[in-house]
Structure 1
Amino acid sequence: MSKVLVLNASYEPLNVTNWRRAVVLMLKGKAEQIEHNGKYVYPELPLPTVIRLRHYVRVPYKEIPLTRRNILYRDSHSCQYCGYTGDDLTLDHVIPRSRHGGDSWENIVTACVRCNVKKGNRTPKEANMILRHQPRRPYSSLHFEVAKQVKGGVHQEWRKYVIGV
């Protein structure tokens, strides 16, 4: 039915869960409802879209894996040189591997085949091609999920709880 943003006691985003789990946490007194969408589970229980845990939970930092799928998602499935969106996208090293450019979030972007071939073994500046967005490491894997929901227009109320969306 609906996804629910779970905030720590400090209002820091922790997780995205389903509405059933969120309602159970609220009924057990472990969480409180912060936002709802006007729909109701029961007449006296609104369907939550954001809940906050009553006690602070320590969460270890989790590194986001550098994968093709994650890079495509970070770059919104579009060429970072011309803006093309389609199925035949490739990954391009901003500083080519032959020039000791490594595999990192800051050095790999999504590119269409045409732009990747045009750029070749050069830097964007040498190829006279401008990057639409400077590549950067994502904030967290949760950031990916929240950004997808907010940009999709589903949960605009989440925007105020997440930095950079």
Structure 2
Amino acid sequence: MSHRSRSVTLLNASYEPLGHVDFPKAVRMLFRQVAVVEEGDETRRIGPHPWPRVLRLVRYVFQAWLYREAAWHRGGVFLRDKHRCAYCGAKATTVDHLVPRSRGGQWSWLNCVAACSPCNARKGNRTPEEARMPLRFASPRVPLVGEIVRERRAA
């Protein structure tokens, strides 16, 4: 039996996906009446409930952690910029520093953008203004954890 077949998808009361729980936890949630079966196998039963595949929480769970600023990481830059070059819009394969590291530029959300290799090489050790390579968007921003999670799920 695979890991996915033993896990049950969990939805918030608003039908937003929250993730997966293992089968024993899903059964406990059903019998504690904190969740209901949204999708199940009617041919198999756990007491009065169909065999759960998807559970929905009875009460909405506010996930405050989704609304915090995300910690910087290289993969997050690609997700924030949707894997597109900040200069030309092509598929991004590298991370570029707006203020080059040799000039004190930091590894941070506000100083890094996704870029394709040709644009990154063309910009070189210069700022976008010096290289006459304007960004396709106003300026980099710090994303929320929820934005990164949604982009990761969509990818």
Deviations, residues 31-90 of structure 1 (Å, cap 9, x unaligned):
468xx6xxx3045869658x446386786687633222222222222211112216xx11
Distance 2:71 2:144 in 1: 12
Q: Which amino acid is the alignment partner of residue 119 of structure 2?
A: C
**1:86-101 to 2 correspondence within 5 Å?**
89-101=93-105
Question: Gaps spanning 5+ residues in structure 1: where?
Answer: 153-165
Q: How many residues are matched?
A: 137
Change (3 A) 1:56 1:73: closer
1:139 pairs with 2:130: no
CA distance in 2, matches of 1:122, 1:59: 39
Identity %: 33
Measure, in 1, the Cα distance between the counterparts of 2:105 and 2:149: 29
- TM-score normalised by L of structure 1: 0.60
Shift of 1:93: 0.6
> Unmatched 5+ residue regions in structure 2?
43-48
Looking at structure 2, the residues matched to 48 and 120 of structure 1 have their Cα atoms a distance apart, in angstroms, of 50
- Pairing 1:12-161 to 2, within 5 Å after superposition: 16-18=18-20, 23-24=26-27, 25-31=29-35, 40-43=39-42, 48=54, 51-52=56-57, 54=59, 64-85=70-91, 89-133=93-137, 134-140=139-145, 142-149=146-153, 151=154
Give the direction of change, closer, same or farther, for the CA distance of 1:78–1:6 in structure 2 (3 Å limit). Answer: same
**Structure 1 position 147, deviation (Å):** 3.4
What secondary structure is seen at the aligned counterpart in 1 of 2:19? strand
| Distance across 1 between alignment mates of 2:9 and 2:80 | 21
CA distance in 1, matches of 2:40, 2:36: 15
Show CA shifts across 1:82-129 (max 9, x none). 12216xx11111122233322211110111121111112222122221
So what's the TM-score if we normalise by structure 2? Answer: 0.63
